Amino acid sequence: MKFMFSIIAVSFLGLFTNLQANAGHHAAEALEHAGMAQAHGEDGHAKVMVQHASEALKHAKEAIKMHADSNDHMNEGIKHLKEAIVHGKKGHAGVAAKHIQEANVHIRQSIQK
């Protein structure tokens, strides 16, 4: 009976660890794509910036889903990613890049939390 309990406990621990790792993976992916989006935005490549910002947004949302205690910084990062996408689609690469820069700051802070 103790053996069975140990197996169940280890299984739950492994599942929890895996969920934490996946949340970290998504946050790292969000940060990577946001960095690429910022670089393209600063270069005036609005279309490519929107593609990377959209990928960053997707990963940021997944990171929050996987983290039961979603934090304010990731939510703020998501807000700025959405704004960047709106401005990028209008061709306002400079304004979008500023929102991406803010998103980068908040996503990075959410990882360090």
Q: pLDDT tens digit string along 37-60?
A: 999 888 999 999 999 999 999 999
Q: pLDDT tens digit string along 2-13?
A: 444 444 433 433
Q: Who wins on pLDDT, 32 or 1? A: 32
Domain that holds residue 58: 2-112
Number of domains in the chain: 1
CA-based R_g, the chain, Å: 17
Structure tokens at 70: 């979603």
Q: What is the pTM of this model?
A: 0.77
Q: What is the CATH number of the domain that holds 64?
A: 1.20.120.660
Residue 25: predicted pLDDT: 85
> How many Å apart are CA 3 and CA 107, to the nearest integer?
42
Q: pLDDT tens digit string along 71-105?
A: 889 999 999 999 999 999 999 999 999 999 999 99
